[in-house]
Amino acid sequence: MKKISMFAVVCSVLAGAAYAGFQPNMPKKNSQMGGFVGGTENIVTVSQVKEMRDDVPVIVKGNIVQRMGEEKYLFEDSTGSITVEIDNEDWRGQTVTPSDDVKLYGEVDAGWFNTEIDVDYVEKL
């Protein structure tokens, strides 16, 4: 009986100590909740992308003018053209023609001999 009582006391102390450090992630009454607050997108040009290092996140605005192979396309803006890789799911059901303006969100894929953009998301404007 004495062992059971001691076990109950130890469990109570441990449970109380564990709960004492717990503070639920609740918003304060006077704090604002929300997500996006201002800011602008940093759209870069094709000529700027060609000078960037590998894996830099970029946003470019222009036109996809030609299909070059499986998931490879030619993208152009006013400063030049670059090959972009767009996986099928990155189109998100959109149909794009060469006359459509688009924003491409992705990363620079800088290789030894050429630079491409690996696209994560296509936004038709």
pLDDT, tens digit, 9 for 90 and up, residues 89-118: 999 999 999 999 999 999 999 988 899 999
Q: Cβ distance 84 to 69 under 8 Å?
A: no
Rounded CA-CA distance 75/94 in Å is: 16
Rounded CA-CA distance 63/81 in Å is: 9
Q: Is residue 96 part of a domain?
A: yes
Q: Is residue 27 part of a domain?
A: no
Of 39-43, 47-51, 76-80, least confident by mean pLDDT is: 39-43
CATH code, 91? 2.40.50.200
Residue 96 confidence (pLDDT): 93
Q: Is residue 11 part of a domain?
A: no
In terms of Cβ atoms closer than 10 Å to its own Cβ (0-12, 13-18, 19+), residue 28 is exposed
Is the pLDDT score of 4 beyond 80? no
Domain coverage including residue 78: 43-124
Count structural domains, the chain.
Answer: 1
Q: Is residue 22 part of a domain?
A: no
Is the pLDDT score of 19 beyond 60? no
Coil, strand or helix at 122: strand
**Mean pLDDT score, 56-66:** 95
